[in-house]
Copies of this chain bind each other. A is one copy, B any other.
């Protein structure tokens, strides 16, 4: 069955003309991510996009009803995402939709709502080398990437990262400054899987990196729904909905 992936991007850095961002992502970060997914998943997936300034942020009931896996990239406009759409996305995850949250999306309303913590972290943007080490070599998300993945220049994200104890830890990153970060962690929330992956600042061409593209493609397949996705009808209660 074809996986219906939607890549959501805030799309603000690019449209307001931040020079280095536009150089890396002339058509938007979502475009580059979507292209990577299409390239690697081929006809196993159809990939569409959505952005903040579209009506309902491009995430109407109808759009979400046709989404199996949602990628989320946001940074400077988290507060502009409407609470209604946030609730809709969270509900859909609970019903089984997969969610991949990227980089500064750790501070998105959606991720914080699903985690129940502040999701704060340490950071420093000095264009340092990041190494992404696999600590779960048998995990499908780590398939086909070197140990470590080497990203020449990156923003540093460091511990303490205020997240719940992960259900699974797949990647740990180190930075030139010596910091460490839990850069690839997975959770279940309701019937849905959530994967957070930190590499990917707007100022560096991280989403062009072939190993990072591989991780994102692996992640899309791994968070894919394992149950038939459906929507609650008015007279249904979640307790009837999960199990008979």
Which of A's residues lie within 8 Å of B, judged by CB? 90, 94, 96, 113-118, 120-123, 129, 131, 133-135, 137-140, 146-148, 158-162, 164-165, 167-169, 172-174, 176, 178-180, 182, 187-192, 226-227, 237-239, 242-244
A237 CB contacts on chain B under 8 angstroms:
120
The 4 closest A-B pairs by CB, nearest first: A120-B238, A114-B116, A120-B239, A138-B191
Number of copies: 4
Q: How far is the CA of A190 from the CA of B164 in the complex (A)?
A: 7
Q: How far is the CA of A182 from the CA of B243 in the complex (A)?
A: 16
A115 CB contacts on chain B under 8 angstroms:
116
Shortest distance from the beta carbon of A102 to any chain B beta carbon, whole Å: 18
Contact of A191 among B137, B169, B192 (CB under 8 A): B137
A191 CB contacts on chain B under 8 angstroms:
137-138
Q: How far is the CA of A129 from the CA of B160 in the complex (A)?
A: 20
Contact of A178 among B114, B118, B167, B174 (CB under 8 A): B174
